[in-house]
Amino acid sequence: MDAPYLLMFLRHAKFDTAQARGRLDAMERWLRDCGDEIGDVTKIRGTDFVELYEQGFMGVLTSDRRTRDGSCIHLLLPRKMVPLQDPSLLLRWSVWVLMRGVHDPYIQVCGQVIVESVEHYSLFQALRFRQVPREVTQKNLRFAQECMPFRLRGIWVTHMPAWVGVLLAIVRPFLSSKLRPRVRLLGSSPSELAALVDLALLPRELGGSHADAGQEWFRAQLRAEAEAAEGQGEAE
């Protein structure tokens, strides 16, 4: 563990060392519990997730495209998700995003929100989430709620279908009492989301006008990771 990694936990805890230590310990326990699925964390690379990211069901926006209160934005478009041959890839993705966060002071200080659109999302597609093993889902949510050193400031869901109760029934048992009030159902009116984030910053899939849905961030992270590896190789 280097200084920038530890600084993330101190920032999350507002420099309360006891709280930072507690969350860091929770992270270490999580990594041990997920050891079989994750493997050697030092060998996880962004290139492992190219196929997963290209599905387009998730995206991370660059730090210059944030909400009105400054939070970084992660996108979810579950209708684009296809069944995963290796669901544990989602756990390794969480670790990789964590390690990329070491280099992003915006997400460390301002936190993040998840903006999800379930427009044109069928009940059949929702059941695909049930193909992800329950253990993987639980571990990912445990990571987000107990371990991750970035504040999850909200989950904003737009275009809820009529059968929303089914989806909520699947997800709600995994949410902590602290996180449940942060879930906002915004309906299909653009004005509701526009009150929270400038729509010009969001991709068209979420009612915005921006051409990018997270690919810019991913390409930038791959470049930065490759440059760091090259620099390390030259140093050796």
Helix H or strand E encompassing 153: strand 152-158
- pTM, to two decimals: 0.86
Domains of the chain: 3-235 (3.40.525.10)
By the 8 A CB rule, do 74 and 113 touch?
A: yes
Q: Is the pLDDT of residue 49 over 90?
A: yes
Average pLDDT taken over every residue of the chain: 87
pLDDT tens profile 99-131: 999 989 999 999 999 998 877 766 666 665 556
By the 8 A CB rule, do 164 and 185 touch?
A: yes
Best CA proximity match to 21, nearest among 8, 9, 7, 4: 9
pLDDT tens profile 6-23: 999 999 999 999 999 999
Joined together, the tokens standing for residue 171 give 């997800």
